[in-house]
Chain A
């Protein structure tokens, strides 16, 4: 849907790298650690995975889905997908509606 598709696919295959969080583009470590989760700036440890984020954010991961930079992260990829500085994450579930 957007150009983010290729980058997040690439992400999944390189997610075990521990260097990704702070070594890009000369950003400071503090700025680099910020990930936007449901519209809120969150400070993340380097290489935090989607699975770890969901575990801290939700009391129950059942009925939950995650979009990373406007691309779906399938549940099977949560443990393999590390977050990077500046990522936008949406964690959603069902609400009354419609």
Chain B
């Protein structure tokens, strides 16, 4: 790459050579956000963090276990990983707002991965409660990253409410079904001005690559890594997939076509 080309790329922050993900003014070199849910032990979590290269990891807010000694927070802090508290398990805007405030008080961060789910069977976001909670939290100065459906209209409403990013689902939480509506994810990625982080549904590395190729700015992965037979190896695979997908997007894929098109010229064939 020539110096001129590099300078041109750096004009566009999304295509700069070091290509950081910027959320709420914070620059992240890794586009993979790690979910800590399902890690078998703190030792496994440590190795996953190292192999994933993630600079941000989610935690849940739960009652203190009086018998517990050391925990997830200690591991994240020791590794220099940013804590992104979530509101998992909340069914109403009121619950989610209070949980976010508890997290801000406990961890000293105004970032929150906002989850307001509709029911325990699907774990799908409750759009009405989600938007209500997002508006309240944005007004209260939070940097809100809402877990949302793959609906481009809702994503836009969340963006307009002041959210720092949107996190549409690929498929239901923990399902590993990948991206079930890639067209919608591509529309969200194309139309939102804030970063779009695919969240939920990633089953293996190729799903993460697909998300990035569709134009997402980042991917969040939990169960696909923590539930793999070798979590650390999968963490590395997903890291590489996110990088590969990002590079493929920036490189620009060829158009799809109906039929074959020879890549070897017919001209100059030998008469045999």
Which residues on A are within 8 Å of B, measured CB to CB?
1, 38-39, 57-59, 62-67, 70, 72, 74-75, 90-98
Contacts and interface: CB of A to CB of B under 8 A. Distances in A.
Interface stretch (B96-104, B158-166, B181-189, B228-236): B96-104
Interface residues of B, number: 37
Main secondary structure, interface of B, reads mixed
A97 B86 contact: yes
19 contacts: A1-B94, A65-B103, A67-B98, A72-B101, A92-B64, A92-B102, A93-B71, A94-B62, A94-B71, A94-B73, A94-B76, A95-B71, A95-B72, A96-B60, A97-B35, A97-B58, A98-B86, A98-B113, A98-B115
B175 to A, nearest CB: 15
B105 interface: yes
Contacts of A1: 94, 97-98
Given A64-B106, A72-B105, A74-B105, A97 B66 contact: no
A83 B66 CA distance: 19
Nearest to A72: B101
Contacts of A70: 98
B36 A96 contact: yes
Interface stretch (B15-23, B37-45, B190-198): B37-45
A94 B102 contact: no
Given A91-B64, A93-B106, A94-B85, 8 more contacts: A65-B61, A92-B102, A94-B71, A94-B83, A94-B106, A95-B61, A96-B39, A98-B115
